[in-house]
Structure 1
Amino acid sequence: MDRERLVRHLSAAVGAAHVLTDPALKASYESDFTGRHTGRARCVVRPADTAEVAAVLRLCHAAGVPVLPQGGNTGLVGGSVPGPDGDEVVLSLRRLTGIGPLDPDARRITVGAGVPLAELHRRLRPRGWDFAVDLAARDSATLGGMIATNAGGERVVKYGTTRANVAGLEAVLSDGSVLDRLAGLPKDNTGYDLTDLLVGSEGTLAVVTRARLRLVPRPAHRATALLALGSLAAAVGVLARLRLLDSLELAEFFTADGLALVLEQSGLPAPFRTAHPVYLLVECAGRRDPSEELAEALDGADVRDDVRDVAVALDAPDRRRLAAYRERHTESINAVGIPLKLDVTVPLAVLPDFVAELPALLAGRARPYLFGHLAEGNLHVNLLDVAAADEEAVTEAVLRRVAAVGGSISAEHGIGRAKARHLHLTRSAADIAVMRSIKAALDPDRLLSPHTLLPPGP
């Protein structure tokens, strides 16, 4: 089927207004928000519901045309951006924005893949409920994209990653067949767990269209603290004490360099009178006011722990002010350059040494800004001023070091296109062979996200 004929059939399936072929209209779907990953799409198709997604996939399957599912396009590894050859159809799921009724007895809600995380929070929180996963890109990140990449975000320390908060899924296979596992029953031992299989599969096995999500009661009280510390090792030590609190929901760290950049770009006032090497942002929440137990835990941290200053916030505006010092890192870094972003996990015991060794590893080829989710050892390595000729060598050096200390080359953004050739560093040949077998079983023609996740090869 030629290009023009396929566009006509797709237009009949979803409406001509939702098949984009004009380069100006396609542009925002062909580049990620950093501008580092760009490509060309054959066209962009924007279906409105599961039936239209299935129709699009049947047409593309019949034509042998690859399809790239895309959510909010907030990823960092090129997994939702087309390649340079212009062959792929970008399947945007942003119109799948339905939100079903809240089921408080089951603590569940069903949502469309295109629902932004912030919209779900706005819908649930006034009613006393919450979806426990949260992240800084909440206004643009969609639930479908978060499920595809098994996003983690800020509250993994208490609630786990997206996978732990998904009870069921509806998804469409590459040939247009629909899988319905939306029931989300707490006990269902009828064979393979297809929901768990699809979470984190990065659009390579099926296109998620709806999800049945687990909810938690919205905590009535919150307390936030920003700690200034002498070292990352000190932050790890203080965290060990804070993790004894059942109310701990968040533990984020950043460094003096990152804070200086945030202050410069945002105009925010400095949180303390003097600068300090490392900062730890923590938040506790519960049905009762957690401020007293947080204060007791912090009182146990003294000069021996290298805690140099503490700011505590109880009301919402002050808590948001403290959170901004961490959450505005990404926009501040992007404002001064296009960073090479390496999202990795390092065992907590070796994280301080890993960070200390990073400048020598980079050998002057990059200017690093580091921040992340401390409790999980999730380090966001943002590298500026990397020459194009050095990008591959810098990436290889950092990821090999991560693998050498027993870490993972991807913590929460997936493998995408950018890291596919590095997958072997932290997944064995047997692992990759099994993944290839699953891909071949569900997508034998390799039409769904064909260049994502799995390394090139047979």
Structure 2
Amino acid sequence: MSAHADALLTQLRAVVGAGNVLTDPESIEGFLVDWTGRYRGEADAVVRPRTTEEVSRVVGECASIGARICVQGGNTGLVGGSVPPPRNDTGRPVIVLSTARMTDIDEVDAVGRCVGAQAGATVDAIDGKAAEAGLAFPVDLASRESATAGGVVSTNAGGIRMIRRGNTRSQVLGIEAVLADGRVLRRWTSLVKDNVGYDLPALLAGSEGTLAVITRVLFKLVVPPSTATVAVAAVEHVEDAIGLIAAASSRGLTVEAAELMTEAGIELVHEHGHRRPTATPGPFYVLLEVSGVGDIETTMAELLGDTGGLVDAVLEPAPARALWGARESHTETIARSSTTPVVKLDISVPIRALPETFAELAEVGAASDFPCRPILFGHVGDGNIHVNLLDVPEEHAETVTGRVFGVVAANGGSISAEHGIGRAKTAWTHLGRSDVDLDTMRAVKAAFDPQGLLNPGVILGTGARSADPPES
């Protein structure tokens, strides 16, 4: 450890306490590798502040000597953006700033339907707090018990309720964040109309920790539906799933969630102990959760009877945990089933292009010169597909990634639907952003973080890769 790093750690211990500056290799190991196991970095220490004031002082101390900071919440990200750089060739100290101790949640404003939460509060805990007031947190995702407020805002997470509620950015009323020089930015109001200047909370949402350290968020809350029904239908074609969603809306039902899975994915989770959602298998499975007035189950049963390409279907009153389990167990099952770290790609295409895209992505494995099993699933209602490529040798990971992104670009899609860019996708941002667009983002980064201290290498890739971007 350099003299600069040693002196910095002494200062940081004075700020957060010696027990919250971790340097032992065994203690910090879990902070240096991401959930997928594909991305690993190096750091001099992990620092765990408790308050915004402590974050401000930590960032100020780091800025005074040019130390780099990697901000980390639940570390459930899938693109390497939550771990430090893989190597430190700058001579600057590298600190992981963990929000694990920042878990406070304010009392719910039941009239204004909002609640404030520290960055380390989990999605599940925020929703639980909202439920005490008869409300719900509109952001929901499979990693709800570990994903944090700061993380979902930083990545502008979508999740399973996006079709009904919008992405995380849509749920943010206010934000508190520490800038790269240690100053505290606070834009905190429950007003639904406040149009004074730039929308800084919206800018920080999706910035992946590269512009500021989010410490607290003021979230919107919603009234949950009084009744809802969950249907899983095995269908012949992707078009059948899309048609069912449209039919539900046309009958006056509110689509709360719409998910698409393939027989390959359902068979995989079944092999790992989960029951199949329908008695008869089909090439595709659409999970639809709907709410509304009247006899929802009867309306859904009628819709299913009119659905083209229907193989089999089942209906249950929400929350229908067993039916949802078939979808939500995909991620962990896939991770356990691959002989190599899974190549996980989160993409979106126009809904009209979903059938062709699914077909082309399913052929990626067959077109490779090595074993590769694609498992596809995602949020069919908003065109989001989670592409999982199993058994890909590490030396071929970028090759198959390029093939997938080539399919996405050809179908007018985006290389990142809801997981962000992180370190994983920096080489391909040119597929969705022009040179002018990227230059503008670099200018924003330079204005907020002129020393380049916050999450170096994330999104824009400076210092993150030594190789030229691969051809796609």
The normalised TM-score by structure 2 is: 0.93
Other-structure match for 2:322: 321
- When residues 126 and 221 of structure 1 are mapped into structure 2, their CA distance, relative to the original with a 3 A threshold, is farther
Other-structure match for 1:79: 81
Residue 405 of structure 1: how far off its partner (Å): 1.3
Residue 298 of structure 1: how far off its partner (Å): 2.6
Other-structure match for 1:44: 46
Confirm or deny that 1:105 pairs with 2:108: no
Separation of aligned partners in 2, 1:390 and 1:282: 36
Confirm or deny that 1:348 pairs with 2:351: yes
Residue 221 of structure 1: how far off its partner (Å): 1.2
Contact 2:245 2:255 in 1 (8 A): no
Which of 422, 431, 434 matches 1:428?
434
Letter in 2 for 1:254: M
Other-structure match for 1:339: 342
Partner SS for 1:99: coil
Residue 120 of structure 1: how far off its partner (Å): 1.1
Separation of aligned partners in 2, 1:268 and 1:189: 49
- Once the two structures are superposed, the pairs formed by residues 151-300 of structure 1 within 5 Å of their partners are 151-244=157-250, 245-265=252-272, 267-286=273-292, 290-300=296-306
Letter in 1 for 2:385: L
Deviations 1:241-264 (A, max 9, x none): 123344210000100010011011
Give the RMSD, CA atoms, in angstroms: 1.6
Percent identity of equivalent pairs:
45
Q: Which runs of 5+ in 1 are unaligned?
A: none
Separation of aligned partners in 2, 1:110 and 1:359: 43
Contact 2:22 2:45 in 1 (8 A): yes
- When residues 98 and 61 of structure 1 are mapped into structure 2, their CA distance, relative to the original with a 3 A threshold, is same
Partner SS for 2:129: helix
Partner SS for 2:43: coil
Letter in 2 for 1:332: T
Contact 2:346 2:384 in 1 (8 A): yes
Separation of aligned partners in 1, 2:249 and 2:58: 48
Deviations 1:400-422 (A, max 9, x none): 22112110000111000010111
Separation of aligned partners in 1, 2:360 and 2:222: 40
Which of 99, 102, 113 matches 1:93?
99
Residue 34 of structure 1: how far off its partner (Å): 1.8
Contact 2:275 2:326 in 1 (8 A): no
Other-structure match for 1:405: 411
Q: Which runs of 5+ in 2 are unaligned?
A: 465-472
Letter in 1 for 2:322: R
Contact 1:168 1:213 in 2 (8 A): yes
Separation of aligned partners in 1, 2:31 and 2:451: 24
Letter in 1 for 2:441: M
- Once the two structures are superposed, the pairs formed by residues 446-457 of structure 1 within 5 Å of their partners are 446-456=452-462
- When residues 451 and 421 of structure 1 are mapped into structure 2, their CA distance, relative to the original with a 3 A threshold, is same
Residue 287 of structure 1: how far off its partner (Å): 7.0
Separation of aligned partners in 2, 1:263 and 1:440: 49
Pairs aligned (count): 452
Partner SS for 1:129: coil
Letter in 2 for 1:250: A
Letter in 2 for 1:5: A
Other-structure match for 2:424: 418
Separation of aligned partners in 2, 1:381 and 1:7: 41
Confirm or deny that 1:139 pairs with 2:145: yes
Residue 392 of structure 1: how far off its partner (Å): 1.2
Residue 354 of structure 1: how far off its partner (Å): 1.3
Separation of aligned partners in 1, 2:224 and 2:246: 25
Residue 18 of structure 1: how far off its partner (Å): 0.6
Partner SS for 2:182: coil
Partner SS for 1:243: helix
Which segment is superposed worse, 286-295 or 411-420?
Answer: 286-295
Contact 1:221 1:288 in 2 (8 A): no
Separation of aligned partners in 2, 1:62 and 1:322: 53
- When residues 197 and 287 of structure 1 are mapped into structure 2, their CA distance, relative to the original with a 3 A threshold, is farther
